[in-house]
């Protein structure tokens, strides 16, 4: 049994989970918050109980030291010794065009993460900080980078190029990258297993719907279309992100006296469900207001569903044949009413929901389409941490096999 640590490091937070592999069993997980503040806190939950404490956390090294203490706590820890960890998998947002799969971290990988930080300035530096802190805490232990963008490196130029002067692509690498790749890869693989099919003859459309939302078309196991673009702002209406915009709106607002910072805040933090409804970025609050007759909330629900239907229709046309439509993410997994609203007008392209199955299924993995529906509708909870653990385990196993080969050659 390998015990692997999965880390998702943000600028002021650090999520982690320990997995037993290949059993794919979570042994416990935790969250460190308010890193860099005067007082930070940690909450860790496992079968051994809950570890909680507050203390100064000036930086990520201090946060990682606290994680080590929580993991090995005599009363409520997950491990007897930190030496039980044989590999660490890191969620890393942007690999640019450098990586199309997860990789063992070395100096070249670190250089690539730094090089692509211009493309993800809020994420890559924080991810790298977590990587360096983990290397410091676990010297000699294999560290793996799992890139959000890697799954979408199979997009064709027709999918990833923008209608801009080509020099902007060659000089600055302005193109569609796509995100949520780890989630889309995980749920599409699990959905294919649920259908008892092979990825090689199955086409799916995966809808990751949460505060961040994206849709990906997956043909024979490979991403061929995705809604997020150069940044996670493009595509669907999200919790606070606007999604697709006529770019001339930005120029118009600049002429009206809005600053670059004003516009950036509006389209990233004040738009989406929050901006349209004027109520909340939480779909539950919007449903409640809509039920009470709030017209803005009612329109917001339909804008959200309408945009998703547009993408589903476009991707269906480009793929020609679709075998499954997947719902995942906080909204996709839990909001039965929104799933129903989205599918309401898709019967003409072979997507026929069974409303009773949809209502009774809730957030469990399951099929919610009619038996005669040409396209199978599946609810599949995502688990990005598990996918990171799977990738890490596979790479460590490959590394071990290579090392055994070298040893065998040396003996001979």
Residue 176 near residue 230, CB atoms below 8 Å: yes
Q: Which of 73, 83, 98, 148 is catalytic?
A: 148
Residue 152 near residue 216, CB atoms below 8 Å: yes
Please state, in angstroms and as integers, the Cα–Cα distance from residue 174 to each residue in 97, 100, 127, 169, 250, following that order.
11, 17, 22, 5, 18
Q: How many alpha carbons lie under 13 Å from residue 263 in its C-beta half-sphere? A: 15
- Please confirm, yes or no, whether 148 is among the known catalytic residues: yes
Q: How far apart are CA 324 and CA 186, in angstroms?
A: 14
Give the β-pairing of 324-328 and 376-379: parallel
Give the β-pairing of 366-367 and 376-379: antiparallel
Residue 84 near residue 134, CB atoms below 8 Å: no
Q: How far apart are CA 273 and CA 302, in angstroms?
A: 11
| Residue 82 DSSP code | G
In 3D, which of 34, 31, 50 has the Cα closest to residue 42? 31
DSSP three-state, residue 180: coil
Residue 204 near residue 322, CB atoms below 8 Å: yes
Show which residues are catalytic.
Answer: 148
């Amino acid at each position: 049994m390998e015990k692997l640590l999965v880390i998702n490091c943000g600028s002021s937070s650090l999520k982690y989970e320990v997995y037993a592999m290949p059993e794919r069993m979570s042994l416990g997980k935790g969250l460190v918050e308010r890193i860099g503040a005067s007082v930070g806190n940690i909450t860790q939950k496992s079968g051994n109980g809950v570890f909680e404490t507050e203390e100064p956390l000036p930086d990520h090294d201090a946060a990682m030291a606290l994680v080590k203490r929580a993991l090995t706590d005599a009363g409520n820890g997950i491990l007897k010794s930190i030496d039980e960890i044989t590999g660490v998998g890191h969620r890393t947002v942007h690999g640019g065009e450098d990586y199309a799969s997860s990789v063992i971290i070395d100096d070249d990988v670190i250089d690539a993460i730094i090089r692509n930080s211009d493309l993800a300035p809020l994420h890559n530096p924080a991810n790298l900080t977590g990587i360096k802190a983990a290397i410091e805490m676990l010297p000699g232990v294999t560290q793996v980078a799992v890139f959000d963008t890697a799954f979408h490196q199979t997009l064709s130029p027709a999918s990833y190029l923008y209608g801009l002067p080509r020099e902007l692509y060659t000089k600055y690498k302005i193109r569609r990258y796509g995100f949520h790749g780890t989630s889309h890869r995980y749920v599409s693989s699990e959905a294919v297993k649920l259908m008892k099919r092979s990825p090689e003859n199955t086409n799916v459309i995966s809808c990751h719907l949460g505060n961040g939302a994206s849709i990906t078309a997956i043909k024979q196991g490979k991403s061929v279309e995705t809604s997020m673009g150069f940044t996670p702002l493009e595509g669907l209406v999200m919790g606070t992100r606007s999604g697709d915009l006529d770019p001339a709106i930005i120029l118009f607002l600049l002429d009206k006296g809005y600053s670059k910072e004003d516009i950036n805040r509006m389209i990233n933090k004040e738009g989406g469900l929050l901006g349209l409804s004027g109520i909340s970025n939480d779909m539950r609050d919007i449903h409640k207001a809509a039920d009470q007759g709030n017209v803005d909330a009612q329109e917001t629900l339909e804008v959200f569903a309408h945009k998703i239907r547009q993408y589903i229709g476009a991707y269906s046309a480009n793929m020609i044949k679709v075998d499954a439509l997947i719902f995942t993410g906080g909204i996709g997994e839990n909001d039965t009413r929104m799933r129903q609203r989205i599918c309401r007008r898709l019967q003409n392209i072979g997507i026929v929901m069974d409303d009773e199955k949809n209502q009774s299924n809730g957030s469990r993995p399951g099929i919610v389409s009619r038996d005669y529906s040409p396209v199978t509708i599946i609810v599949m909870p995502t688990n990005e941490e598990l996918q990171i653990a799977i990738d890490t385990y596979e790479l460590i196993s490959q590394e071990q096999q290579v090392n055994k080969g070298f040893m065998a050659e040396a003996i001979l």
